[in-house]
A and B are shown apart, each in its own frame.
Chain A
């Protein structure tokens, strides 16, 4: 079974631009969660999508948004980029269902490294 894939792996943008990151979950998984990882704030939950609906949201400004398609692939978008948005963005996929096997484990992708100049 193929793992979680994220594209692109590296991205350089300038302040004020917008960016779209993509995450393809493991086949059959319906939940995709996004996390931001920075040296200062650590790993922080952005949002989770399940069956094309946002099921949970972290404490991030509205510039951060996402969506999920019918094939469970997910995209996250950051508009009006700021220097502080430079981070590793990780997505994780799981079945998303109560009682899903095993323990509804989340499988992480390799991440997208975003640098904002």
Chain B
């Protein structure tokens, strides 16, 4: 079974500064997807960024980028130019590519989350 660990329960960042959220995972699979989801106080989960394990290039979406280290099983999220609207819970999640590619399932395994506070 896969596990996802987020070691930082809370982080804070000054507005306009950069912050990095950590995530490690454990799996015996070689092909998988990794995601970062944002959950603001409204509780609506929003996909921030995704990474395919077979891609060496780190994913980037505007101010959000990841540092994917497959050998170390590490998947951190960097938020640049932090904004007040970035304040939320952030969850790292894992999905098996085998299950998906074989129509066998679509399950996400989540980490415990990191609460990000943004100071004005």
Q: Is B7 an interface residue (CB 8 A)?
A: no
In this complex, what residue of B is CB-closest to A88?
Answer: B43
9 A-B residue contacts at CB 8 Å?
Answer: A31-B106, A42-B111, A45-B107, A56-B105, A88-B43, A96-B106, A97-B103, A99-B101, A103-B52
**Number of A residues contacting the other chain (C-beta, 8 Å)?**
28
Give the residue name and chain of the B residue nearest to A100 (CB): B100
Do A105 and B103 have beta carbons less than 8 Å apart?
A: no
Residues of chain B within 8 A (CB-CB) of A108 are: 37, 44-46
Chain B: CB-nearest residue to A47: B107
Q: Which residues of A contact B104 (CB under 8 A)?
A: 55-56
Distance A97 CA – B103 CA, assembled complex (angstroms): 6
Q: Does A66 contact B (CB under 8 A)?
A: no
Please measure, in the bound complex, the distance between the C-alpha atom of A56 and the C-alpha atom of B105, giving whole angstroms: 6
